[in-house]
Chains A and B, each alone.
Chain A
Amino acid sequence: MYYKFNGFTQKLVGAAASAAYTPQGLKPLVSTESPALIFGTPTKLASDSPAAVSYLSKNKVPDLQKLFQKADGVPVHLKRGIPDQLLYRTTMALTIGGTIYCLIALYKASQPKSRK
């Protein structure tokens, strides 16, 4: 019999082995929940029979997990490199430029009589 702590009732309750092997609150850094490894074509997926949709997408999640877990100190919003940087710089430029334009527009709008 395995047990886990029920945070709601604050008591120990019976649990399945899975709860004991992956205790609450402590999950491995690399998610072990990814689907079975794909050795070649998508037909090897364990969970479903071949169909049009599963041929269209290969499971890239494990590769992306490796990419985003690289210990390079780069924050998550820039972790993919150049495309992230471009998007970030565009957003920041528009935001700061827009704020300056906004302050000028509000200043002009607050002038009595000289403008409509």
Chain B
Amino acid sequence: MTHQTHPYHMVNPSPWPLTGAMAALLTTSGLAMWFHYNSTQLLIMGLITMLLTMIQWWRDIVRESTFQGHHTTPVQKGLRYGMILFITSEVFFFIGFFWAFYHSSLAPTPELGGHWPPTGISPLDPFEVPLLNTAVLLASGVTITWTHHSLMNANRNETIQALSITIILGLYFTALQAMEYYEAPFTISDGIYGSTFFVATGFHGLHVIIGSSFLLICLFRQVFFHFTPTHHFGFEAAAWYWHFVDVVWLFLYISIYWWGS
């Protein structure tokens, strides 16, 4: 039997990059078919294959790390760099939407009435639900730190409790935001205000859902004993992502909800 004499991870051949790429093709063409021909078949196929790819690819990573032991220290270092770079790319993604917001709101055109918020727009009161949302996400930042410390101290029950509370807070934020969307007196088609508001907060909400899902996976893994007090990078990656989501909200709240009202 041969053993590797290096600490790196030579991955087994895998079909998921291919299925993922094809899923991207189906999803994008599916969007075009939905927009122009009112047909959702291709889009649904795309989303299903995307979901299947994600499930199996990440399932395999859990198998390779927790069950096969491939995540040595250098491998973990690479994963850390990777997650940091990914989050950085997401930061730039949001910078684009903040740029759009500030471009339009710092110098409002005559068509908008020369002021911001534009004529006819009644913005949401920043000291009502948006402030609650801020408190909810800040609290979730505290509970996720509590989770991490409990995990590092091998305190299984507290880890599970704190992580569950974090996820519940994330879901609470999503529910509150959904209700706000429903009750808002303006829509995405209400000029540049509506566009910037809903695109920026909408993508943020999507990231909250992604972050909550990631945390939920971590909760399952914790219940099934995958994490150890010294090796739990999956959880750390989820925590970094969650803090990023929180920080983006703080910028959204200050810029769009408060200054922009």
Question: A residues touching B (Cβ–Cβ < 8 Å)?
Answer: 7, 24-31, 33-35, 45, 47-49, 51, 53-54, 56-57, 59-61, 64-65, 67-69, 71, 75-77, 79, 87-88, 90-92, 94-99, 101-102, 105-106, 109, 116
Say whether B157 contacts A51, CB under 8 Å: yes
Measured CA separation A57–B222 after assembly (Å): 10
Say whether A68 contacts B49, CB under 8 Å: no
- The 10 tightest CB contacts between A and B, nearest first, are A25-B7, A68-B67, A75-B12, A98-B45, A59-B225, A91-B52, A33-B228, A48-B156, A95-B22, A31-B69
Question: Which residues of A lie under 8 Å from residue B68 when comparing CB positions?
Answer: 29, 65, 68-69, 76
Q: Shortest distance in angstroms between A33's beta carbon and chain B's nearest beta carbon?
A: 4
Measured CA separation A65–B64 after assembly (Å): 10
Say whether B231 contacts A33, CB under 8 Å: yes
Interface core residue of A25, A29, A67 (most chain B CB under 10 Å):
A25
Stretch at the interface among B13-21, B179-187, B193-201, B239-247: B13-21
Interface core residue of A54, A95, A99 (most chain B CB under 10 Å):
A95
Say whether B52 contacts A79, CB under 8 Å: no
Q: Shortest distance in angstroms between B155's beta carbon and chain A's nearest beta carbon?
A: 7
Say whether B224 contacts A61, CB under 8 Å: yes
- Complex partner residue of B60 from A53, A57, A76, A109, CB under 8 angstroms: A76
| Residue B37 CB within 8 A of the other chain | yes
Say whether A69 contacts B42, CB under 8 Å: no
- Beyond known contacts A53-B160, A75-B12, A109-B32: 17 more, CB 8 A cutoff: A27-B73, A28-B69, A31-B69, A33-B228, A48-B155, A65-B67, A75-B13, A76-B63, A76-B64, A77-B56, A87-B52, A94-B48, A95-B49, A98-B49, A99-B22, A105-B33, A109-B33
Q: Shortest distance in angstroms between A68's beta carbon and chain B's nearest beta carbon?
A: 4
Q: Shortest distance in angstroms between B218's beta carbon and chain A's nearest beta carbon?
A: 15
Question: Which residues of B lie under 8 Å from residue A24 when comparing CB positions?
Answer: 7, 73-74
| Residue B53 CB within 8 A of the other chain | yes
CB nearest neighbor in A for B2: A71
Measured CA separation A30–B67 after assembly (Å): 8
Question: Which residues of A lie under 8 Å from residue B74 when comparing CB positions?
Answer: 24-25
Measured CA separation A47–B19 after assembly (Å): 41
Say whether B15 contacts A88, CB under 8 Å: yes
Using known A-B contacts A68-B67, A75-B12, determine if residue A35 contacts B26 with beta carbons closer than 8 Å.
Answer: no
Say whether B60 contacts A26, CB under 8 Å: no
Question: Which residues of A lie under 8 Å from residue B130 when comparing CB positions?
Answer: none
Say whether A88 contacts B12, CB under 8 Å: no
Say whether B224 contacts A57, CB under 8 Å: yes
Q: Shortest distance in angstroms between B226's beta carbon and chain A's nearest beta carbon?
A: 7
Interface core residue of B13, B73, B160, B230 (most chain A CB under 10 Å):
B73
| Residue B88 CB within 8 A of the other chain | no
Say whether A90 contacts B230, CB under 8 Å: no
CB nearest neighbor in B for A46: B154
Measured CA separation A52–B16 after assembly (Å): 38
Say whether B56 contacts A88, CB under 8 Å: yes
| Residue B261 CB within 8 A of the other chain | no
Q: Shortest distance in angstroms between B187's beta carbon and chain A's nearest beta carbon?
A: 28
Using known A-B contacts A77-B14, A92-B19, determine if residue A61 contacts B29 with beta carbons closer than 8 Å.
Answer: no
Question: Which residues of B lie under 8 Å from residue A68 when comparing CB positions?
Answer: 63, 67-68
Per-residue CB proximity of B51-74 to A under 8 Å, as 1/0?
011001000100110111100111
